[in-house]
Copies of this chain bind each other. A is one copy, B any other.
């Protein structure tokens, strides 16, 4: 498999660098002017390349959004961790994290829509929410908290998944259907936690 003539493919480092450069600019625009401003043409102008060049490095726009997701999730995690510092007991810590989780997504409904509602029907590809190891970690933090509550044998995975999806559901409902008089977010979270803490 001797190298043939011609320009060699970019190294993986080059590809990653270009991708993260675009991601960085996308992040800047999103934070400064919101999601509407993050367009392919605008992004190309910011990064200093032709609009079409981006398509050589990304599958499409949703592919770029992952960089925004990662940033938002990191922000959320540090928010939860910050409030968690002053909490001691195992079940209290789980409760605190859950309430912080909900509070974050309600206080930042634009972020919520970005992360959980960006790959919708309008997009043809319906690309899935691809979770990397790092992205996953932001959610799996709940596993550790649940384990602290249940040191004995216990189906931690199922409890974690139920809690996470339940919390996301509460945030989704309160964000997208604000006209409906939902019960208090704190109360609903506590009720949901009943199924985990027992």
Contacts and interface: CB of A to CB of B under 8 A. Distances in A.
Interface in A166-185: 166-170, 172-174, 176-180, 182-184
Contacts of A170: 162, 165-166, 169
Number of copies: 2
Contact of A173 (B155, B165, B194): B165
Contacts of A157: 183
A192 B166 contact: yes
Interface of A: 35-36, 110, 113-114, 116-124, 126, 128-131, 136, 155, 157-159, 161-162, 164-170, 172-174, 176-180, 182-184, 187-188, 191-196, 198
Given A36-B124, A121-B117, A172-B116, A161 B177 contact: no
Contact of A178 (B36, B118, B128, B194): B128
A59 to B, nearest CB: 15
A86 B86 CA distance: 51
The 3 A-B pairs with the shortest beta carbon distances in the complex, nearest first, are: A169-B169, A195-B195, A194-B195
Given A167-B169, A173-B165, A114 B121 contact: yes
B131 A179 contact: yes
Q: Which of A128, A131, A184, A188 has most B Cβ within 10 Å?
A: A188
Contacts of A174: 165
Contacts of A136: 180
